[in-house]
Amino acid sequence: MAFQEPSAPHGPATYRTPGESRSSWLALAQEIDPEVVRYFLVSARCGCFMQAARSLNIKATLLRKRLAQLEEHLRHSLFTYQGNGLVLSRDGLQLQAQWVALAHERRLPVVEQPLIRLAVAEPILHDILGRDLIALLRRNASVRLEIISLDSHLSLQAVDVDVVLWLSDSDGPVPGPSFVTEPPRSLARLEYLPHIAKRYSRLVTRPDSVEDLDDYMLVQWQPDAQVDALQPWNQVVQQRLAAVVQVHAYSLMLEMIRCGACIGLLPHYMSSFDRGLVALPGLLAESMQRQVWLAVNAQVQHGEAVQMIVELITSTFEGRREWFD
C-alpha cells in the first residue's frame, strides 16, 4: 500500500525513477478509467476516505484499494497524512489540477440518483425505522430519499409514493393508500398499553385500575384520538375534566411521559425501545391492537433503488422481531 498511516511523521516516498519526466506520468494519467478519476477527486475533496466512500456509495476498503492501484500504476504517491488529516502530496495536487481541468473541459455530468419517496407512519418512523434510515444515509451519502411522515388515515390517502408503511385497525390492510400497490405484506401486530416512566412510579404504587389513573396526568397524541382500535383509552381521556393534555407531536408525547410524570398510550414494544418506560397492563379490560403494513407502488420506475429501501425495512423488522412477539 502506498498510503501512510497517520502516525508516520513524513509522507511516503515517490515512485518516480531518476530519468522520468513530470509530464510523462501526467500524460499517462489521462488514460485512467473515469471511475477511478472520480474516486480520486472525491477523496481529494473530502480529505477523508470514509466520507469519500459514503459519497461514492462504496466500501472504504474498496476505495483505498482502487487508489492504491492508481498510485502503483502512475508510480507516484498521491496522498499523505498531516496529523489526523488526509491531504494530497505535491504530485497529488498536480494530478488533481489536471483532472479538474479536464473535467471542466469535458463537462462531465453529475451521476443523477433516482428519487425514492417513502411514507411511514410517524410512530414507526420514530421508534423503529429512524435509526436504520440514518445508518443508510451514513453508508450512502449520494442517495436521494424523500421521507414523508404519516399521522393519520387522511395523510395516508393524500400521498403518492414509491414505498408506504402504515398502521391499520383490523387484520387487513384497509384503509390503505389511495394509489395502486403490489400486494401489501404484514410486518407486525402491535398491542397498545398505557406507559409510565419508571422514575415517577415505584412498582408497589403503579396504577393497576382505571380508578388509580385519577392520581396521574394523562397525555394523548392527538391523531390517536381518531383511531377506532384505540377507543378504550380514548374514552378514558375524553372523560377527563382535568389533568389531561393532548399534543400534536409524537415526540413531545414521549417526552411528557419520560419527563413530565404523565401516562400515555404506546405500542407494547416501547419498553424495549426505551428502558426508562414501563407498560401498565391490566388497566383496561379491552385489548387494543393495530397492524403494520408495507406496500410498494405498482408503477415504480426505479425498481433496484426501491428494493433497497424495502429490504432495509423488512430487515429492520426482522432484527427487532422480539419486540413484537
Q: What is the pLDDT of residue 12?
A: 44
Tell whether 12 is covered by a domain.
no
CB proximity list for 295: less than 8 A, separation 6 or greater = 163, 164, 173, 176, 177, 181, 182, 183, 184, 185
Q: What is the pLDDT of residue 2?
A: 45
Please say whether the beta carbons of 46 and 85 come within 8 A. no
- Answer whether 0.75 is exceeded by the pTM: no
Phi/psi of residue 32, nearest 5 degrees: -70, 145
How many folded domains does the chain comprise? 3
**Cα angle 234, 247, 198; round to 5:** 80
Tell whether 3 is covered by a domain.
no
Tell whether 206 is covered by a domain.
yes
Q: In this structure, are strands 289-296 and 185-197 parallel, antiparallel, or unpaired?
A: antiparallel
d(CA 298, CA 258): 41
Please say whether the beta carbons of 22 and 90 come within 8 A. no
228 and 279 together in one domain: yes
156 and 184 together in one domain: yes
C-alpha cell at 56: 461514492
User: Residue 201's domain is classified under what CATH number?
Assistant: 3.40.190.290
Tell whether 58 is covered by a domain.
yes
Domain range for 279 is 190-289
User: Residue 310's domain is classified under what CATH number?
Assistant: 3.40.190.10
In our burial notation (b when 16+ CB lie closer than 10 A, e otherwise), range 305-320 reads bbeebbebbeebbeeb
Per-residue pLDDT of the chain (325 residues; tens, 9 = 90+): 444 433 333 344 445 554 455 567 767 767 788 888 889 988 888 888 888 888 888 888 999 999 999 988 888 899 888 877 788 898 888 888 888 877 665 554 556 788 999 999 999 999 999 999 998 887 777 788 999 999 998 899 989 999 999 999 988 999 899 999 999 999 999 999 999 999 887 777 788 888 889 889 999 999 999 999 999 999 999 999 999 999 999 999 999 999 999 999 999 999 999 999 999 998 998 999 999 999 999 999 888 999 999 999 999 999 999 999 8
d(CA 267, CA 229): 12
Nearest to 111 by CA among 67, 146, 142: 142
d(CA 290, CA 224): 12
Tell whether 55 is covered by a domain.
yes
